Amino acid sequence: MKSIYTLLTICLLLATVSNAQLADGTIAPDWTMTDIEGVEHNLQSYLDDGYTVILDFSATWCGPCWAYHTGGTLEEIYTNHGPAGMAGVSAYTTDDIMVFMIEGDGSTTTEDLNGTGTNTTGDWVTGTLYPIIDSDEITQTYAINFWPTMYTVCADGMIQESGQVTAAEHLGIAQECAVQSLDVQLDDTSVSSVQDAGDGNAFTFTLNNENEMNAEELVITVTSDAPSDWAAEISAAGSSDGSSLLIMAEALSGTDVSLAVTPGTTAALANYTVEISSLTYPENVAITVDYFVASGITDLVVDNGGVSTVMNSDFVAGLVAAENTTHATLDIDKFTEAIMADQLSEVGHVYYNVGWTFPSFTDEGVEALKAFMDNGGNLMVVGQDVAWDTFNNEGTAITQEFMTSYLGVNYVGDGSASDSQMTFVSNDPLFGSLGNSSIENIYGGANIYPDQIDPIPGGFGILHYGNDETKFGGARIEHNGFKVVYIGVDLLMIEDEAVRTSTVEITHNWFHGLVSGVEESTISSLGRVYPNPSNSLVNINLKGFNKDSSIEVYSLLGELVFTENIANGSSVYVLNVSAFNNGLYTLRVLDSSGNTANTMVQVLK
């Protein structure tokens, strides 16, 4: 199985690496290697010639690596920006970026690279324009801990993990490399690059001219996709304008710049791009910074990047079908930054388009999602291998606890091509009418892995694979003041477009309270539970329960570890957890009328 093999491979890889993966801002180790066509390459030579170098560390068996490789992003960059005169590079190239694929698994064979071996997802060679280097030596030198890993190396040797981003994002990183060499540097002092309208915080930055002798004349321009009834003003050195300013950056001095945005009545998440160009040195690259202002946005599609980006439109189609006019799209990094800065306060519903892009969750992203949900925000999570990645691949204790305690799902197993049909649970009051759909293998080869999960107590399985009604691939839950819908395949893998659209539409309507989960008999939450954490006795306020009841306690793995009947008329139940192991537990109280309520308790000794 993919899961077992990948785990073994990752463990073997980690066993050969003595150091942590290279941190952003360190100097890239130099190397000289011969590609599979017999051509020798030296990293430092490319850097000395002023090239930004993209290193794509992949393995022939790695599904997400293959999906990105066949997506054409790196071919596009190499063709239009690669070294002039190299095979496959356009005559009109900008001649400033070099791309390498590093196949880093030492067990890979030539047959695997050509797609005929036993340890491959396809033919990696045919149609690949940029050089492929088959070397686990570079993998060890760069301390690669997992595949895929993608680095960008600036001409000054500085390295950063860039990830499976779009071509435009790669070009933005390359531009940042070029900007590092300029005399004028931008110091962003904004509270966040994403801000709520009317928050009182203008976007601010300082342009510092680090040249000791020469002043530099700069032009600052602002462009935006904002609605026509919005307005913006850029201010610097005592002047203001709605679109452009001319300033003089004196030697060894800083110029403060601010951007103030006044939204109109049209809801939007508007992007303002500020560009700083040099009139003194017109050959220099421009400095750009992007800001976003949110006004009236209630629903947000959050994009995990990589291959997931193409599916944003499918989420938007569902929101449009729900007649929602207050939605927008934002990437996960910007969302994380904004939430942790207490922005996006009007957003109450997030649709996280994870796709087949790893990692599915980061610790930082999870902390932002938890903060959003703790404030009553509802969350939809959609993606292939999300649970597998979290529990068997790149997950941490933080992301695993989030999957169970917040999303309300436990990982059961990895899917396969046999899970080619999805059927919504017919008696589910929300999704039961959707029927079924084929699951499309949009990544080709054997790259189809629909997650199998189980809902935690209090949750509901909403879809299963084939005719096996116990093999759940989706779930929903309402607990702790928020609602969650989890789908274990990419949205685009749902072959029936109508089902795809309706899945998002119904989720939207449930989140907004426009439809009911027919859980009217369910009590949404218990009263106070204290002390929590506890090492002995926990008092549980039975608010809303006035009939014979029972309590069930489940571990994070979904195992029932304790149950007991509660006498009618009890207002507080005392649970003794002294015999429990340390960890998080789900408490479920249910009565004879079918009322249920769930909460979490932590045992900490």
DSSP 66-119: HHHHTTTHHHHHHHHHS-TTSTT--TT----EEEEEEE--TT--HHHHTT-SSS
Domain 297-511 matches domain 529-603 at the CATH topology level: no
> Six-digit token pair at 348?
């109450």
- Nearest to 311, CA basis, from 322, 323, 301: 301
Amino acid 349: pLDDT: 97
Domain locations along the chain: 2-179, 184-294, 297-511, 529-603
**What is the assigned CATH class of domain 529-603?**
mainly beta
Instruction: Supply the pLDDT for residue 200.
Output: 64
pLDDT for 196? 95
Please, which residues bridge with residue 325 across strands? Answer: none
DSSP state of 311: G
The whole-angstrom separation of Cα 517 and Cα 475 is 12
Q: What is the pLDDT of residue 602?
A: 83
Query: For position 517, what pLDDT does the model report?
Result: 64
pLDDT of residue 12: 36
Distances (CA, A) of 110 to 61, 65, 107, 281: 13, 17, 10, 49
Backbone angles phi, psi at 335, to 5 degrees: -60, -45
Instruction: Tally Cβ neighbours within 10 Å of residue 27.
Output: 11
Enter the tokens of residue 532. 């929590």
- What pLDDT does residue 558 have? 65
State the number of CA atoms in the 13 A half-sphere of 506 facing the CB: 20
The pair of structure tokens assigned to 479 is 């607990």
How far apart (Å, rounded) are the C-alpha atoms in residues 297 and 348? 9
Distance from C-alpha of 65 to C-alpha of 519, rounded to nearest angstrom: 42
Closest CA to 247 of 160, 167, 173, 184: 184
CATH fold of 297-511 reads Rossmann fold (3.40.50)
List of the chain residues with pLDDT < 50: 1-19, 519-522
How far is the C-alpha of 316 from the C-alpha of 322, rounded, in Å? 10
What's the distance, Cα to Cα, between the start and end of the chain in Å?
Answer: 38
Residues 6+ apart with CB under 8 A from 487: 380, 381, 382, 383, 463, 473, 474, 503
For residue 427, what are the contacts with CB-CB under 8 A and spacing of at least 6?
none
CATH of domain 184-294: 2.60.40.3880
Q: Which residues contact residue 11 at a Cβ distance below 8 angstroms, ignoring those fewer than 6 apart? A: none
What CATH number was assigned to the domain covering residues 2-179?
3.40.30.10
CA angle 380, 382, 386 (to 5 degrees): 120
DSSP 3-state of 517:
coil
